[in-house]
């Protein structure tokens, strides 16, 4: 009996020591993790990085990830250039504009892509149900809400108007955050709005109507946005860039394979109802970047006068 008791005491002490050691190891690992701040937009596009953080794809690679919401990609580009963010998520037009202006930026991974389904893409031009606007052609001379001016919204909306046979040179764009657009449509503060999920489903559940799928009208399987960093970070911290890129790619794969978890996680960083959560139209999250579609956006952006000079895709894309 004494031997059994002694053995039990030894095992208890060993277990306590092991638990203490394990706790210290975890604390050391947490302390050693590289803290990074990533600029994102609170829309469905960035669901993969939120899922990746929750699933430990970043922490397992020694990254302590903070996600900071911004209104649009242009602000995130500025944040990365200023050192506020180590990495960022931005639409391709913002990145092309920055690159054409000489900004030392480099994409590291795909961000999000159109699903290619007209009328059922995650991005659309919408109007109130009672509006007399029946197609993109009718948008000529009308006010259209976009999240930022002289950016992807302008270019792709114009392309929808052109494809419908309308005049795209006298559209009146109004900048506002995506969450404010359903109210602006209801109050008739604007005639139409370019929205992405979850704002798209919010508009539709309030009686709004889709008049065009602007991403689908622009290019087949359009690569809409990318994750990126500065050339300085790539030079100074190549391992961090590699680890971040691997974590993002794993996050993209996971999101593509788990659509219900995507719907759930969007509700953790945006204010949506259960109806909207269930109704949301999901984008695509391919790991590969569709270069041809970005070339198309670059060409249209030049036509719209967004870029100071022609962007050099080889300098931007990985």
CATH number at residue 258: 3.40.190.10
pLDDT at 8: 45
Assess whether pLDDT exceeds 90 at residue 117: yes
Same domain assignment for residues 211 and 259: no
Q: Report the alpha-carbon distance of residue 157 to residue 164 in Å, rounded.
A: 11
Instruction: Tell whether 92 is covered by a domain.
Output: yes
Assess whether pLDDT exceeds 80 at residue 20: no
Same domain assignment for residues 231 and 287: yes
What's the average model confidence in pLDDT over 140-166?
96
Instruction: Tell whether 309 is covered by a domain.
Output: no
Same domain assignment for residues 190 and 107: no
Assess whether pLDDT exceeds 80 at residue 193: yes
Question: What SS3 state is found at 111?
Answer: strand
Instruction: Tell whether 56 is covered by a domain.
Output: yes
Per-residue confidence band for 308, with pLDDT thresholds at 50, 70 and 90? confident
- Expressed as residue numbers, the domain containing 65 is 29-116+221-298
Instruction: Tell whether 1 is covered by a domain.
Output: no
| Domain boundary, last residue among 154, 185, 218 | 218
pLDDT at 27: 45
What's the average model confidence in pLDDT over 183-204?
97
Predicted structure pTM score: 0.87
Instruction: Tell whether 105 is covered by a domain.
Output: yes
What's the average model confidence in pLDDT over 220-227?
97
Same domain assignment for residues 209 and 289: no
Q: What's the domain count of the chain?
A: 2
Note the pLDDT tens digit of each residue in 245-300: 999 999 999 999 999 999 999 999 999 999 999 999 999 999 999 999 999 999 99
Instruction: Tell whether 40 is covered by a domain.
Output: yes
Q: Report the alpha-carbon distance of residue 257 to residue 265 in Å, rounded.
A: 14
User: Rounded to 5 degrees, what angle do the CA atoms 146, 148, 153 make?
Assistant: 50
pLDDT at 18: 46
Same domain assignment for residues 63 and 200: no
Assess whether pLDDT exceeds 70 at residue 7: no
**How far lies 135's CA from each of 156, 165, 182, 188, 210, in Å?**
15, 10, 19, 18, 9
| Domain boundary, last residue among 168, 190, 218 | 218
Same domain assignment for residues 145 and 188: yes
**β-strand pairing of 63-69 with 34-40:** parallel
Q: How far apart are the first and last CA of the chain?
A: 69
Q: Which residues contact 112 (CB under 8 A, 6 or more apart)?
A: 45, 46, 223, 224, 225, 283, 284, 285
Q: What is the mean pLDDT of the chain?
A: 91
Backbone dihedral region of 113: left (phi > 0), alpha (psi from -120 to 50 degrees) or beta? Answer: beta
Instruction: Tell whether 17 is covered by a domain.
Output: no
pLDDT at 21: 46
Assess whether pLDDT exceeds 50 at residue 35: yes
Same domain assignment for residues 129 and 195: yes
Same domain assignment for residues 108 and 233: yes
Instruction: Tell whether 211 is covered by a domain.
Output: yes
Same domain assignment for residues 173 and 232: no
- Alpha helices (H) in 108-237, listed in sequence order: 152-163, 181-186, 199-205, 214-218, 231-236
| Domain boundary, last residue among 171, 202, 218 | 218
Same domain assignment for residues 132 and 93: no
Same domain assignment for residues 111 and 225: yes
Same domain assignment for residues 112 and 227: yes
């Amino acid at each position: 009996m004494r031997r059994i008791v002694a053995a039990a005491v030894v095992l208890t002490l060993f277990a306590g020591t092991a638990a203490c050691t394990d706790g210290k190891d975890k604390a050391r690992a947490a302390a050693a993790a590289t803290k990074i701040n990533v600029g994102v937009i609170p829309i469905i596009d960035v669901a993969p990085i939120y899922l990746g953080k929750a699933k430990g794809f970043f922490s397992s690679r020694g990254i302590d990830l903070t996600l900071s919401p911004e209104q649009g990609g242009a602000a995130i580009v500025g944040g990365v250039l200023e050192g506020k963010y180590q990495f960022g998520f931005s639409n391709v037009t913002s990145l092309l504009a920055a690159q054409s202006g000489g900004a030392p930026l480099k994409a590291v991974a795909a961000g999000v892509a159109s699903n290619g389904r007209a009328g059922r893409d995650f991005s659309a031009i919408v109007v109130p149900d009672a509006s007399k606007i029946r197609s993109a052609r009718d948008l000529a001379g009308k006010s259209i809400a976009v999240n930022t001016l002289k950016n992807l919204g302008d270019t792709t909306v114009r392309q929808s108007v052109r494809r419908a046979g309308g005049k795209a040179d006298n559209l009146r764009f109004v900048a506002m955050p995506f969450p404010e657009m359903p109210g602006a449509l209801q109050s008739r503060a604007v005639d139409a709005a370019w929205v992405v999920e979850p704002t798209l489903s919010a508009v539709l559940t309030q009686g709004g109507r889709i008049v065009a799928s602007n991403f689908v009208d622009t290019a087949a399987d359009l690569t809409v946005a990318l994750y990126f960093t500065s050339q300085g970070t790539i030079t100074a911290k190549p391992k961090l860039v590699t680890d971040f890129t691997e974590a993002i790619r794993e996050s993209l794969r996971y999101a593509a394979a788990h659509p219900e978890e995507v719907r759930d996680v969007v509700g953790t960083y945006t204010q949506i109802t259960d109806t909207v959560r269930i109704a949301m139209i999901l984008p695509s999250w391919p790991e590969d970047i569709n270069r041809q579609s970005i070339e198309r956006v670059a060409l249209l952006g030049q036509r719209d006068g967004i870029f100071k000079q022609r962007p050099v895709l080889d300098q931007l894309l990985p």
